[in-house]
């Protein structure tokens, strides 16, 4: 007996003509490879699906954050605008305060020049838009009369060196006096300016 067939019992049955021999074992790689490919494809699909879901969630999150950021930006812009407006107003206030600083000494000097018996009904100080040196001065004295007006104009000239030009004085009923003039500050140290000013401008009404 052939040693190869030693363990195989003989067979007398009717042979089926189409009995096939087993395929070589190496060909098991084909189905194994196919199954592995399928498993890998499923795994990759699952991974990609998971990543797709993660990406969508991340996108939604970022969109939410973007919307929140835009809302915050709009709020900040609004706040910035409000602050800018406030700043503008403050700047205007600062400019007004700075601009009114030369007027303050005028105002204080006028108030201090008032005698206790005198009364000031109205006082106006308006700086010329084109020439800041010129101040339109209006004053209405309800009591105290011309004396008070002369004192006040004199103090402005002596203490602050303001000289009135184009002065107009009007006596009204009840002893009230309405006075208006253009005040221009004089430089005391340069007499040529005084002379020039005196030559080109009219004399204040109080000096008449």
Which is closer to another protein, CB of 17 or CB of 191?
A: 17
- Which of the ranges 22-30, 52-60, 83-91, 133-141 carries the binding residues for another protein, by CB under 8 A? 22-30
Closest CA to 138 of 153, 156, 151, 123: 123
Tokens representing 72 are 């915050």
Is residue 39 involved in binding another protein (CB under 8 A)? no
- Which of the ranges 15-23, 96-104, 107-115, 144-152 carries the binding residues for another protein, by CB under 8 A? 15-23
- Between CA 109 and CA 121 the distance in angstroms is 16
Which is closer to another protein, CB of 38 or CB of 132?
A: 38
Which is closer to another protein, CB of 21 or CB of 188?
A: 21
Q: Which residues of 114-127 are buried (b: 16+ CB within 10 A; e: fewer)?
A: beeebebeebebee
- Between CA 144 and CA 131 the distance in angstroms is 32
Q: Which residue has the tokens 């096939």?
A: 20
Which ranges constitute the DSSP H helices of the chain? 29-113, 145-159, 191-200
Is residue 29 involved in binding another protein (CB under 8 A)? no
Contact yes or no for 186/194 (Cβ under 8 A): yes
- Which of the ranges 13-21, 45-53, 118-126, 133-141 carries the binding residues for another protein, by CB under 8 A? 13-21
Is residue 41 involved in binding another protein (CB under 8 A)? no
Is residue 1 involved in binding another protein (CB under 8 A)? yes
Which is closer to another protein, CB of 34 or CB of 58?
A: 34
Residue 164 CB coordination number (10 Å): 24
Q: Total binding residues for another protein by CB under 8 A?
A: 24
Which is closer to another protein, CB of 10 or CB of 129?
A: 10
Query: What is the signed CA dihedral for 55, 56, 62, 65, rounded to 10 degrees?
Result: -140
Is residue 31 involved in binding another protein (CB under 8 A)? yes
Which residues bind to another protein, rule: CB under 8 A?
A: 1-2, 6-16, 19-23, 25, 27-28, 30-31, 34
């Amino acid at each position: 007996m052939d040693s190869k067939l030693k363990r195989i019992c003989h067979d007398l049955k009717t042979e089926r003509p189409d009995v096939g021999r087993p395929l070589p074992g190496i060909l098991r790689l084909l189905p194994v490879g196919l199954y592995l490919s399928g498993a890998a494809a499923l795994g990759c699909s699952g991974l990609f699906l998971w990543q797709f879901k993660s990406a969508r969630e991340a996108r939604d999150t970022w969109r939410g954050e973007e919307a929140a950021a835009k809302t915050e930006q709009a709020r900040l812009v609004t706040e910035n605008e409000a602050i800018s407006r406030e700043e503008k107003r403050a700047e205007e206030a600062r400019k007004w305060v700075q601009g009114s600083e030369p007027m303050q000494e005028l105002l204080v000097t006028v108030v201090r020049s008032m005698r206790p018996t005198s009364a000031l009904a109205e006082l106006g100080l308006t700086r010329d838009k084109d020439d800041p040196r010129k101040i339109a001065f209006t004053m209405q004295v309800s009591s105290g009369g011309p004396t008070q007006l002369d004192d006040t104009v004199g103090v402005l000239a002596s203490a602050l060196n303001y000289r009135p030009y184009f002065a107009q004085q009007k006596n009204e009923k009840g002893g009230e006096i309405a006075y208006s003039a253009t005040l221009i500050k004089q430089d005391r140290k340069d007499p040529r300016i005084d002379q020039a000013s005196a030559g080109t401008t009219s004399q204040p009404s109080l000096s008449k």
